[in-house]
Amino acid sequence: MSDNIWGYQPAANYTAGTDLIGYKVEATDGSIGKVDKHSDEVNSSYLVVDTGVWIFGKHVLLPAGTVVSVEPEQRRIFVDLTRDQIKHSPEFDKDKHVGDAGYHERVGDYYHSHRRT
């Protein structure tokens, strides 16, 4: 497994440039929502997931390195995190956190500490 949490794993079956908006996101123990936004930026790739009613009105930012697989046919993305890990992640505010290096670092540290090896 790569140390770069901000890059897609080679085995994830992700093709750069694929529009992931609207894809369902599945944690290891159930669905967490749909992709609202994503970035392919080198060393800064991520998904913004709208959790809908599951965590009322919350959006979460998931580094691309948490993605286990992308299934374009089913429009689903699987991540190697539990719903609880995602629920307790640093809150994402698109008006404050896009391009915020400090927030980016906090999120990276949080998910890096929860990765399976």
* pLDDT value of residue 3: 66
* pLDDT value of residue 117: 46
Q: How far apart are CA 41 and CA 44, in angstroms?
A: 5
Q: Of all helices (H) and strands (E), which one includes residue 34?
A: strand 30-39
For the chain, what is the mean pLDDT? 88
Q: How far apart are CA 90 and CA 54, in angstroms?
A: 16
Q: How far apart are CA 88 and CA 74, in angstroms?
A: 27
Task: Return left, alpha or beta for 79; rule: phi > 0 is left, psi -120 to 50 is alpha, else beta.
Answer: beta
Q: What is the pTM of this model?
A: 0.89
Q: How far apart are CA 60 and CA 88, in angstroms?
A: 10
Residue 62 has pLDDT above 50, yes or no: yes
Residues of the chain with pLDDT > 70, as a percent, come to 92
